[in-house]
Amino acid sequence: MRDVAIIGVGVTKCGELWDKSLRDLYVEAALKAIRDSGVDRLDSMVVGCMSSGLFVGQEHLAPLLADYLGQCPIPSTRVESACASGGVAMRTGFLEVASGVSDVVLVGAVEKMTDVGGDEATYALATAADQEWEGFSGVTFPGLYAMMAVSHMEQYGTTREQMAAVAVKNHESGSKNPNAQFPIRITIDDVLNSVKVADPLRILDCSPISDGAAAAILCPADVASQLGKKQPVKILGIGHGTDTIALHSRENLAELASAGRAAQKAYEMAGKKPADIDVAEVHDCFTISEIMATEAVGFFEKGKGGPAVEAGESAIGGRIPVNPSGGLKSKGHPVGATGVAQVVEIVEQLCGESGERQVQGARTGLTQNMGGTGASSVVHILEAM
């Protein structure tokens, strides 16, 4: 298999983008990535999206977006894995280039979530849970993650203040991101005193409903500098794992087993270990999920993720900066696009293009993207060439 590099990236602002359609957002991110790379052709497209049918009533996205981008008749494929759709799209694009099927692949991902009301958005998101057991019982994702949080607190002594510290850290980073949906600073007290959603989670523990898109251009690493004008970033390792969708079928609610397996595979493929990572973007759809994800990928021992964030170890300037983009919590969470947006942030970090939130000396980065409560998870390890 061939080595693969990223030679261009693009991302839109996240938020309630009333004046832009799903196809507008996708094309905006895709054109930014194409211009960033300088390529004059595409051989293939991979589209990540969770639920355009429920959010905007549009399926059959792959040819639609190829058409709207002016790329017909090249092959275009849509992939879906709930909130991990973007991460799986990246993996799919990687495999297409690595196998030699295509040389220049556009991996784009998009979600338009605010064209429906709150109840409809909640229903659409809940389809990523087990419908016959969890959905039928009326449980939604705040409730599911609240159960995970309670389990983590009981097993390891994780505190409400430690979870709140995740939100404070990510909003501090997000305040420096011009594309963030909520670029505002908050305090521990703000989080603890915000509206309760599902005990122990409060509204400021939860990522928002977002519109947005992200894109990346992939090509063989040995010709990256010839095809593109941007400093290439090599994809060193990829891991993909799954777990039961229903929480009641899992051995331990306080662990993200799929993320752990995906990380192990990615480290093995890359020839790296957690201590080699300089910067990371992990899936903080709720504050407890960042704590659990940092433990799953090996940054901290099980049960130590909470104390680590409280001590500033995962802040910019800390031992392992996590979510310098602001994460899903501050930057926003257009579910199908999140995995590619994470890759965009890491590529910009490794190229020294992140402005005020730049992690100094970053050479190797990691992304961890997951669907639902971690039933699917994808980890990428990237390194500047």
This prediction has a pTM of 0.97
Residues serving a catalytic function are 83, 333
The CB density around residue 264, as the number of other CB atoms within 10 Å, is: 16
For 118-206+236-384, give the CATH class. alpha beta
Name the residue type at position 204.
L
Residue 228: predicted pLDDT: 81
State which CATH number among 3.40.47.10, 2.40.50.140, 2.60.40.10, 1.10.300.10 fits the domain covering 4-117+209-233: 3.40.47.10
What are the φ and ψ backbone dihedral angles of 179, each rounded to 5 degrees?
A: -95, 0
Q: What is the pLDDT of residues 163-192, one digit of tens each?
A: 999 999 999 999 999 999 999 999 999 999
Domain spans, the chain: 4-117+209-233, 118-206+236-384
Give 330's contacts (C-beta < 8 A, 6+ positions apart): 170, 171, 173, 174, 175, 177, 180, 181, 182, 183, 184
Note whether 4-117+209-233 and 118-206+236-384 share their fold.
yes
Q: Which residues of the chain have pLDDT under 70?
A: none
Check residue 117 and give its pLDDT. 92
pLDDT digits (tens, 9 = 90+) for 372-383: 999 999 999 999
